[in-house]
Every structure is written in C-alpha cells, then in structure tokens.
Amino acid sequence: MPLSRVRIAALRCLRDVELNLDPSRNYIFGPNGAGKTSLLEGMFVLGRGRSFRTRQIRRLVRHGEDGFAVFGIVSGAAVRQLGVAYRDGHLEKKVDGKPAAGMAELAEILPVHALDPSMHGLVEGGPSERRRFLDWGVFHVEHSYLEAWKRYRRVLSQRNAALKRAGSAAEIEPWSSDLVATALVVERFRGRYVSELAAQVGTVGQRLLERPLTLEYRRGWPDDEDFAESLSRTTAQDREHGTTTTGPHRAELVLRLDGRRVQDEASRGQQKLTAAALILAQVAVESAARPLGSLVVVDDPAAELDGTALERLLAAMADLPAQLVFTALTPGQLPVTPGRPVFHVEQGEVRTV
C-alpha cells in the first residue's frame, strides 16, 4: 500500500517536516547535506525499523534531541497509521495507535526497499548481506515464513549451545532431528521464492547491464545430500568448532555476469547495477504477490553511474509497479514525471515546488 503522508521529527538534520506523497512517483531535490537522504531514511524506518545507511539507530537522532519519531499514513483498501519512535534507547512501534507486536507487523503493511549509493555492498559484502536480502524477500510474499525461520533459529541456537557444552550424542541428537525438520520448511519457502527471483534477475539484469546476469542459490549443504545426511556427516566437525557448520543459515546467493562471479570481475558501477537488478527483481516478485505494491526510496541514483547506465536504470524503474521517492541535487540530474510532486529541501526544511 502506498505511503500517502509522512511526518518526521528530530531525525538527523530534520526538525519537524511533513510530506504528502503521490502513490506513484515523487521527487526531492536540494544541495548536499540539506536533508534529502534523511527524508528517505525516515520513510525506510517506518517499514524496517532501521536506516539503510547505518545499523546504529541512535545515530539518526537530531543533535541536541533525546529521540526521533516518524509517523506515516498508508492508504489502500484500508487506511493504516504507522508510528516508530526512538526514545531512551528503545524503539517504539505502533499500528493504528496501538503497540505493535513487532517490526514485522509494520513491515507487512509497508514493504520498503532502498536503492542508494552504498547498495553495491549487497554484492560486494559477505553472504550474510545476501541472506538478509533473501529472507526479507521471502517474508513479503510468504508471511508464514517468518515463524518458520524463527523456529529454525531457536533450534539452531539450542543445538549450538549443546555443541559448545561438549554435550553427549544423546543430548545433541534431539536438536539435530528438530533442526532437520525446521530446515526443510525454510528451504521449501526459499526454494519457491528464489525460482521466481532468479527469472526476474535475469530479465532486469539484461536490461541494466546489457549482459547475462544469473542468480544461483546455494542452500547451505551439498546438492547431492539431504540435510539429515549432511548434518550427520558434519557432527564431529560441529563438536570441534562448537557450532553448526551446515544448514540454511549458511546459504548463499551467487551472482554471475557473463558466467563470472560479479564480486571478482565487475566494476563498482556494474556492482551497483547488479545490486539494483536484485532489488528491482525483488520488488517485481513482491508486486505479483501484493498488487497494492511496495515503497522504493531511491537516493541519488546518478552516483557512480555514467549517463547511459543512469538512463537504463531510470527506464527499468519507470515500469516498476511500486511507489518511488527519488532524490537528486537538481532536476537536471533526474527527469521529473509531469504532474508528480516535487519537493525542495534545504537546511532541513522542506517545501513543495
């Protein structure tokens, strides 16, 4: 469902600002350091409970303030009110004025994604970055996935605790049996999702990079073994290391451009386009399962891209069935769709153009 209104208070350089957003395209312009990215961070916090720039939520608090707050109205078949506030080291979350059970409740209402200058980290970073990306994607199309993943993580934690205690085989075996059962549920969800995602990555990747881009899913144990066999085979190694060395928590997404690993061969610009292909493909899969769409915040898309690459990226996003909020220094860097809202931000103040 589109975010129709957002109010942000005491977040970074923003004192108290409010925007009414179009369900399709929105544009924010202004000089560096004016607060453009901070506006996008506020919107992202509503759906993820964190920033796309930092994992440390306290860094979002405006200097001299003791916390921040973001309030949003999401409109669709029903109007929903979302609120996130950080105070006294705690993140408070509300839906329709009532405390939310968890961040997942807000994320289900407002799926949000970010394309920003650091998104190449999705490609360049370690496997955990791509697993996190994968799990968010599965969650947004398979809502029961979250419970399955939590069950797997709980059992994994118990098995690891037994391994660290150098527990007996009789102590470890029940956790191993439970781990197999929960892992197979996680794998079924992930497998269905990745088959759809890989097809979209190929299509979007060809459009952005004009070269074949492929996505390979490695589930965390050998393809020629079932998980019970793999876990049994590695138990001695697990006991030695005090941790479970095989399973969905070790899964990986491998990206290849022209058959070569993107991390090994691609330039920074190509890595950024590859990351964009992943995110846009994820939004496309999501939109098929959620016709009311997602929110995509796009921070300075011209950064580290030449004119031709930027044109291809903007053309791919033009067809995206999602609500987009763009930032750029000037309208000259980013063509504006006629009739869509344009905002100018300077020194933390926002006005409609």
Give tens-digit pLDDT for 192-226: 999 999 999 999 999 999 999 999 999 999 999 99
Residue 326's pLDDT is: 98
pTM: 0.94
Task: Determine the CATH number of domain 119-289.
Answer: 1.20.1050.90
Encode pLDDT of 93-112 as tens digits: 999 999 999 999 999 999 99
Alpha-carbon distance of 143 to 220, in angstroms, equals 22
Cβ 235 vs Cβ 176: under 8 Å: yes
Task: Determine the CATH number of domain 1-111+290-353.
Answer: 3.40.50.300
Give residue limits of the domains in the chain.
1-111+290-353, 119-289
Encode pLDDT of 143-168 as tens digits: 899 999 999 999 999 999 999 998 88
Mean pLDDT of 125-138: 96
Cβ 6 vs Cβ 46: under 8 Å: yes
Q: What are the angstrom distances between the C-alpha of 10 and each of 69, 87, 125, 161, 342?
A: 7, 11, 31, 42, 23
Encode pLDDT of 18-72 as tens digits: 999 999 999 999 999 999 999 999 999 999 999 999 999 999 999 999 999 999 9
Encode pLDDT of 253-309 as tens digits: 999 999 999 988 788 889 999 999 999 999 999 988 877 779 999 999 988 788 999
